[in-house]
A and B are shown apart, each in its own frame.
Chain A
Amino acid sequence: MARFFFNGRSGSRRRSFRSPTEDSAALKLTLSAIAIAFVGVFLLLPLLVVFTEAFAEGWDHVWTTITDPDSLAAIKLSLTAAAIAVPLNTVFGISAAWAIAKFDFPGKTFLVTLIDLPFSVSPVVAGLIYVLVFGMQGWLGPTLAGYDIRVLFALPGIVLATIFVTFPFVARELIPLMVDQGRDEEEAAVSLGANGFQTFLRVTLPNIKWGLLYGILLCNARALGEFGAVSVLSGHIRGETNTMPLHVQLLYDNYDYVGAFAIAAILAMLALLTLAVKSFLEWRYADELAASHRH
């Protein structure tokens, strides 16, 4: 492909030849321009706006907003919710993908559909479902209240909402990968004398680790950014049950635009950090990645 391109440009004897998959320069330029413009307007520009708005009144203002106790509480709450939801969904995602890829059982298609449910249900509806279950008029609410356990308007509710919304990410990433890899290597490991745990640790896990990493990163990004479901369950108690996205909304509603953008900038930074970690790992382990894909 590259060679044809070179020949096409160099004016050699084969100038007239064009690879069947090669498009005209005009088309290439147009398509690239559209792609770049799209990315610029819809992705880069908003990111730029977030940071410029945040720093519109200088560092000091950003710093006071971030170090405000309510903001710190929001950051802490978001990180806590993610720290609980992400590992749980990782374990769940691996188990589900393992079961779906390696075994045949009745109801498998149904399980796959069920895993996708959080993608198709609006987060707000998901939040309301938990209100119905755990609210004081709900099924479990009064019982739990009897034991002095609060789910709604407290950390458990926020964690539940986050788990629900980020449920499919790891499983979705792993299922096609594990189905594609089949059971051969696991069977080989067992026939060589490995027990179930060794097989998982030494064969299955290394084979899925990249997919798993992407799944976890996506899951984490969504866990930190979730608004709808958490909004229904949290009760918006400043300094107690406000997560970062909720805090952004709160500041914005109070006309503290710089403050809102400052918190938004932190969220954006976390997202960028995630991307940076992913890119670094891909660069660092490029050989291994290539080796595991070609086979």
Chain B
Amino acid sequence: MSLVIDAITKKYGRFPALNGAGFTAPDGAFVALLGPSGSGKTTLLRILGGLEAPDSGTVRFADLNWLDMPARERRAGFVFQQYALFRHMTVAKNIAFGLEVRPRSERPARADIARRVEELLELVQLQDLGKRYPSQLSGGQRQRVALARALAIEPRMLLLDEPFGALDAKVRKELREWLRHIHDKAGVTSVFVTHDQEEAFAMADLVAVMNKGRIEQVGTPADVRREPKTAFVSDFLSN
């Protein structure tokens, strides 16, 4: 059931965004893709989510040929950097969306959906805000709605693009522990993108350091910190 990413390449015009990126992570791991901007982290995440197709390379996950599945069948819960909440829907409707668009045969009954939404609102500590619109929430609250919405589909994999990028430092720290807690509770393999090494080391089981479309090093936070394998990694970490 592990996640095996192998030799992914992707070009935008003549610019190579990914240049043979690959790593392996055990099932249920919390993986940080760490690197400077332009290193290909977000592109790799979007490929995992099915929002982008690579030029070559393979991804195997949960015994599935992951890249052959269309995005909508992957059940990869994606949390966007700017959250991408549906602005015309209430918080509760946002969270219920993934369940309501299922084909009739797989769709839970309305009462079950409502119950699931309540559970998720509780999980992300927004019990009383189900009737609000995204525009009426703070950044941190929107972030949590986005996560609840992604969790609602019982994702096989959770993908987070700079999950705390748009939040101020204090809220960031609070949400870090909380997100780690949610991940442990849900038990899904998660990949998150960050350019902040402190964040990566504090939260992840595995850190994959990226540079120029390649993975420079993969390892536990302790290993990567103790033994940087390349000049780039030691340089990046010392900043």
Residues of A within 8 A of B (CB): 184-185, 187-195, 198, 202-203, 206-207, 288, 291-292, 294-295
Contacts and interface: CB of A to CB of B under 8 A. Distances in A.
Contacts, number: 79
A188 B98 CA distance: 10
Contact of B88 (A188, A193, A194, A291): A291
Contact of B72 (A193, A206, A294): A193
B200 to A, nearest CB: 23
A192 B87 contact: no
Contact of B97 (A195, A202, A288, A295): A202
A185 B86 contact: yes
Contact of A193 (B84, B86, B98): B98
A295 B52 CA distance: 26
Interface in B132-172: 133-136, 149-150, 152-153
Contacts of A191: 49-51, 71-72, 74, 76-78, 150
B75 interface: yes
B101 interface: yes
Interface residues of B, number: 31
A268 B133 CA distance: 39
A69 to B, nearest CB: 48
A192 B95 CA distance: 10
Contacts of B89: 206
A292 B135 CA distance: 8
B180 interface: no
B236 interface: no
A192 B84 contact: no
Interface of B: 49-51, 71-78, 80, 82, 84-89, 97-98, 101-102, 133-136, 149-150, 152-153
A184 B87 contact: no
B76 A184 contact: no
Nearest to B106: A193
A185 B101 CA distance: 15
B87 A190 contact: no
A185 B84 contact: yes
A231 B135 CA distance: 49
A206 B97 CA distance: 14
Nearest to B87: A295
Given A184-B82, A191-B50, A292 B153 contact: no
A192 B99 CA distance: 8
Nearest to A185: B84
Given A190-B72, A191-B76, A193-B153, A207 B87 contact: yes
